[in-house]
Homo-oligomer: A and B are copies of this chain.
């Protein structure tokens, strides 16, 4: 246990207090800086103020813990010693940076201050020491800008306006064209702005500057945009941000200096080659903010081969140490390379898989580590994202080409405003967010959009980094287009695209295309196949699929599905040529008439089952008996009713009466599921007949068929018994008739709260349970999935819900029912097979829950089968690690 009153942790060549296990306390950045220092990476010395100090300060209305100030001053002394400089000194002045750094990386969210320690006296010393007046005043005016903006809320725009005005006055276009006296003038103007807006003089005392800056970082933890980012990214359980105070090193000391960011491998493709950008004579902000367009990192090799070689060496060292592809910030100060920061690099799905496989092949990590740590289920999902169809883009009108900032294809209607994007998405529209550049204020709209297009900024601009993190297609820095927010349009000079027009984005090539192009299924790389083979060696919980066509069944099987967890029979009734028999059944007045209509459906249904059984030969196939309310099969509009009535050979009145008679106030809670099978046993009989006869056809060909008949919407054991008796009787009769045997099971969907809490009663009679978590979530919360769109967004926005419970299983509520149902069921029936077949069956978090609850399988849509496989494997490996890890590692892995 650390000393509870220790808030400051040093790092540097000689004295380093922290290490990488201390993320929770030092933040990701701080822990890494300490770790890097320990392994000999040239990090500018500094110290980290712990997250605990942040928490305590916020809690105590911004009053620092008593010990903090003294420890900070000792930290400053540590930097001064290592650098041989002194804060505020008029000869060898030390400049420092102040950065936030929480335990989880939140790009662009936290505020940063550079060049702290500068003032009118220090700037002269800097000039004297470096002989570079321009650099000195550039640093000074940048500091005023950042300090004013971040600490005092003087809006960056004021300063931008001033620099714009000055450039006009002196007749230059680019900042770099401003000379030293221009910048000195600018410094004065910035100070005047500061005084005017804040009513105070700009603080001269470096220690005062430092105290203000540290407080600003503390406060930024609870800024609206930080809170919003944490919400959208599902970041919970952190206590605050750490503050990193570090010696400044300068990339803007002339052409022998520079700054850059780079990934140790290509974050789009995974290729093992440095990937990144640099700018000479510039500070890091210039790269990250996307204001100047930087050069590709490969060019550094020709511009400065020695530095490039040194950089490559450090990247290998860091990769091996962190067992992961790294995202590095560096600065070259007058020919010396400093590594400012390293972290696990965000990457695309394709890159994640390739990096994982490569790192295993390179001997850097084990297969299990690669599966557990290097590929998110979301990455696999990205790979399954649609791409443009091969010919879709032929002859298409390319509006422009930008940077391929985040791969995949997206189509949508253009919107220029984040709020509008959120609103349109709520209305069910698919939109592309088009912005000159994005800022943290835009994350809501970015999250709602199908894809993002910016006209400014690079591969590491805000838009690019966030979009890659979310696996959302993004084309960045597309300077071919000019965006006009006022007229709500953009143009490439030839074509003008207005709000609401369709465009298509190709995140792989950076092309922006006019119109709505057709998307197609993704293809998989060699590495993907290798990786998924490793995954399938681990998996212990079966992954099945939800499928009701032979095509889907085959596809899912090709993805590794181990059977069908849910085949919805009603979809089969909707096919043309069948639906009218269904309707005849529905409008029948007597059981006899119903039986005639059902007998007409029987051959179709049987044929469907034959094909599905064939596609899943040897694997279990769970077939759910008719579930939806009957009115879903009838037309609702006057015209349609007339047409269908004439097809059925009945009067419009008869059909209309039936339509009205079947209307329900709350169809979700209505006459459906086993309630149909109980009121119309003949439906259950027909479906059983179709299943058993279909199975027998294949059995006679020597094939193995494993039908599992699922009674839907059971709320009481009496319902289940009624239907089970009917299915068994029907099946036995057919089997006796054919003189055959068949191993079939009968189980139920647990989707009614009552069934979950009385699962022991039901399990005595059932062979399997499948949790229908869609309906179970609806009933547990009392939320209609179709209607909840009216309040769920507000709920998530106001933090009433952490996430949409229809996407991620609500573990504390719905999860209790899943646990109770499983526990009660297994208590009386140890052979009970238990699975999950709601949409949660394809959600990684929910799969982890399912594994920990001890379910036998999850079932999801064919396209999510690989995602579920990975999530399932990770659930195993994580549990394994959890059981074999000490406490520190645990905290760390939670934050990974």
Question: A549 in the interface, Cβ–Cβ < 8 Å?
Answer: no
Which residues of A797-818 have CB atoms within 8 Å of chain B's CB atoms?
A: 798-801, 810, 812-814, 816-817
Q: Is A829 an interface residue (CB 8 A)?
A: no
Q: Which residues of B contact A665 (CB under 8 A)?
A: 667-668, 784, 786-787
- Whether A718 lies near B668 (C-beta < 8 A) is no
On whether the beta carbons of A781 and B752 are closer than 8 Å, the reply is yes
Chain B residues with CB below 8 A from A718, complex form: 799-801
User: Please, could you name 20 A-B residue pairs with CB atoms under 8 Å apart, sorted by A?
Assistant: A665-B667, A665-B784, A665-B787, A669-B669, A670-B784, A671-B787, A678-B794, A678-B798, A679-B790, A679-B794, A713-B782, A719-B800, A722-B800, A752-B780, A752-B781, A753-B780, A753-B782, A757-B816, A757-B817, A779-B779
- Asked if A14 is an interface residue, CB under 8 A from chain B, the answer is no
**Is A238 in contact with chain B by the CB < 8 A criterion?**
no
Q: How far is the CB of A735 from chain B (nearest CB, A)?
A: 26
Give complex CA distance A866, B783 in Å.
36
- Bitwise interface map of A from 784 to 797 toward B, beta carbon under 8 Å scored 1, else 0: 10111011001100
- Would you list the 10 A-B pairs with minimal beta carbon distance, nearest first? A669-B784, A666-B784, A754-B813, A670-B787, A665-B786, A718-B800, A753-B753, A671-B790, A666-B666, A666-B668
Q: Which residue of B lies closest to A790 (CB)?
A: B671
Separation of A816 and B788 alpha carbons in the complex (Å) = 27
Q: Among B678, B779, B784, B800, point to the contact of A716 (Cβ < 8 A).
A: B800
Report chain B residues within 8 Å CB of A670.
784, 787-788, 790
Does A758 interact with chain B (Cβ within 8 Å)? yes
CB–CB B722/A778 < 8 A: no
A324 to B775 CA separation, bound complex (whole angstroms): 52
Cβ of A258 within 8 Å of any chain B Cβ, yes or no, is no
Residues of B within 8 A of A722 (CB): 798, 800
Which residue of chain B has its CB nearest to the CB of A663?
B787
Q: Report A668 CB to chain B, min CB distance, Å.
A: 4
Interface on A for B, CB 8 Å cutoff?
Answer: 664-671, 675, 678-679, 713, 715-716, 718-719, 722, 751-754, 757-758, 775, 778-784, 786-788, 790-791, 794-795, 798-801, 810, 812-814, 816-817
Q: Which B-chain residue is minimally distant from A716 (CB atoms)?
A: B800
Q: Which of A753, A757, A791 is most buried by chain B, counting CB atoms within 10 A of its CB?
A: A753
Partner of A813, one of B675, B716, B799, B817: B716
Least CB distance, A797 to chain B, in whole angstroms: 10
CA distance A800 to B711 in the complex (A): 15
Determine the distance from Cα of A788 to Cα of B673 in the docked complex, in whole angstroms: 13
Return A298 CB to nearest CB of chain B, in Å. Answer: 50
Q: Nearest B residue to A813 by beta-carbon distance?
A: B754
CA distance A780 to B778 in the complex (A): 11
Who on chain B is nearest to A714 by CB?
B782
Cα of A718 to Cα of B671 in the assembled complex, Å:
33
Check A781–B754 contact: CB distance below 8 A: yes
- Assembly CA distance A37 to B813 (angstroms): 62
User: Would you call A758 and B813 a contact (CB within 8 A)?
Assistant: yes
**A812 and B668 contact, CB distance less than 8 A:** no
Give the distance to chain B from A421, nearest Cβ to Cβ, in Å: 20
A787 contacts B664, C-beta separation under 8 Å: yes
- List chain B residues, Cβ under 8 A from A800: 678, 716, 718-719, 722
Give the complex CA separation of A667 and B669 in angstroms.
Answer: 11
Report which of B669, B781, B813 forms a contact with A783, defined as CB distance below 8 A.
B669
Say how far A155's CB is from chain B's closest CB, in angstroms.
27
Give chain B residues whose Cβ lies under 8 Å from the Cβ of A816: 757
Most B CB contacts (10 A, CB to CB) among A675, A787, A801, A810 go to A787
Out of B664, B752, B758, B817, which one reaches A784, CB within 8 Å?
A: B664
- A751 contacts across to B, CB distance below 8 A: 782
- Contact check, B795 vs A678: say whether CB atoms are below 8 A apart: yes
Cα–Cα distance between A408 and B757 once the two chains are bound (Å): 42
Q: Are A782 and B787 in contact (CB under 8 A)?
A: no
| Bound CA span A788–B670, Å | 6
A669-B668 contact, Cβ under 8 Å, with A678-B794, A754-B781: yes
Complex Cα gap A794–B681 (Å): 12
A786 to B669, CA, bound (A): 9
Q: How far is the CA of A833 from the CA of B390 in the complex (A)?
A: 66
Minimal Cβ-Cβ distance residue in B for A783: B669
* CB-based contact B753/A779 at 8 Å: yes
The chain B residue sitting closest to A681, CB to CB, is B798
Known: A664-B786, A665-B786. 18 other contacts (CB 8 A): A665-B667, A665-B784, A666-B667, A666-B669, A666-B786, A670-B788, A670-B790, A671-B790, A678-B795, A678-B798, A679-B794, A713-B782, A718-B801, A751-B782, A752-B782, A753-B782, A754-B781, A754-B782
Chain B residues with Cβ below 8 Å from A782 are 668-669, 713, 715, 751-754, 775, 779
Whether A778 pairs with B668 at a CB distance below 8 angstroms is: no
Closest B-chain residue to A720, C-beta based? Answer: B800
A813 to B760 Cα, complex, angstroms? 12
Q: How far is B753's CA from A775's CA once the two chains are assembled, in angstroms?
A: 13
Given A715-B782, A794-B679, A800-B722, A666:B787 Cβ within 8 A: yes
Report which of B752, B780, B786, B794 forms a contact with A754, defined as CB distance below 8 A: B780
Q: Is the CB of A757 within 8 A of B678?
A: no
With both chains docked as a complex, state the minimum distance between the C-beta of A726 and any C-beta of chain B, in angstroms. Answer: 11
Question: How far apart sit A439 and B580, CA to CA, in the bound complex (Å)?
Answer: 44
A814: nearest chain-B partner, CB-CB: B754
Q: Are A778 and B669 in contact (CB under 8 A)?
A: yes
- Min CB gap A678→B, angstroms: 6
Chain B nearest CB from A19 CB (Å) reads: 37
Interfacial chain B residues near A669, Cβ < 8 Å: 666, 668-669, 778, 782-784, 787-788
Q: Report how far A716 CA is from B669 CA in the complex, Å.
A: 22
Identify the closest chain B residue to A791 (Cβ): B675
From A665, A754, A757, A758, residue with most partner B Cβ within 10 Å = A754
In the complex, A790 Cα to B801 Cα: how many Å? 35
Question: Is A671 within 8 A of B791, CB to CB?
Answer: yes
> What is the CA–CA distance of A446 and B778 in the complex, to the nearest angstrom?
39
Q: How far is the CA of A671 from the CA of B788 in the complex (A)?
A: 7
Query: Is A812's CB under 8 angstroms from B664's CB?
Result: no
Task: Name the distance in Å between A717's Cβ and chain B's nearest Cβ.
Answer: 10
List residues of chain B with CB within 8 A of the CB of A666. 666-669, 784, 786-787
Closest partner residue, chain B, to A800 (CB atom) = B718
Chain B residues contacting A795 (CB-CB under 8 Å) are: 678
Q: Knowing A779-B753, A791-B679, say if A716 contacts B801 (CB, 8 Å).
A: yes
User: Which residues of B lie under 8 Å from residue A664 when comparing CB positions?
Assistant: 784, 786-787
A800–B812 alpha-carbon span in the complex (Å): 31
**Residue of chain B at shortest CB distance from A665:** B786
Q: How far is the CA of A665 from the CA of B663 in the complex (A)?
A: 11
Please give the distance in Å from A777's CB to the nearest CB on chain B.
Answer: 9
In whole Å, how far is A450's beta carbon from the nearest beta carbon of chain B? 24
* A786, closest chain B residue (CB): B665
Contact A757 B813 (CB under 8 A): yes
B812 near A758 with CB under 8 A, answer yes
- Residue numbers in B under 8 Å from A753 (CB-CB): 753, 779-780, 782, 817
C-alpha spacing A227/B780, complex, angstroms? 36
Q: How far is the CB of A276 from chain B (nearest CB, A)?
A: 42
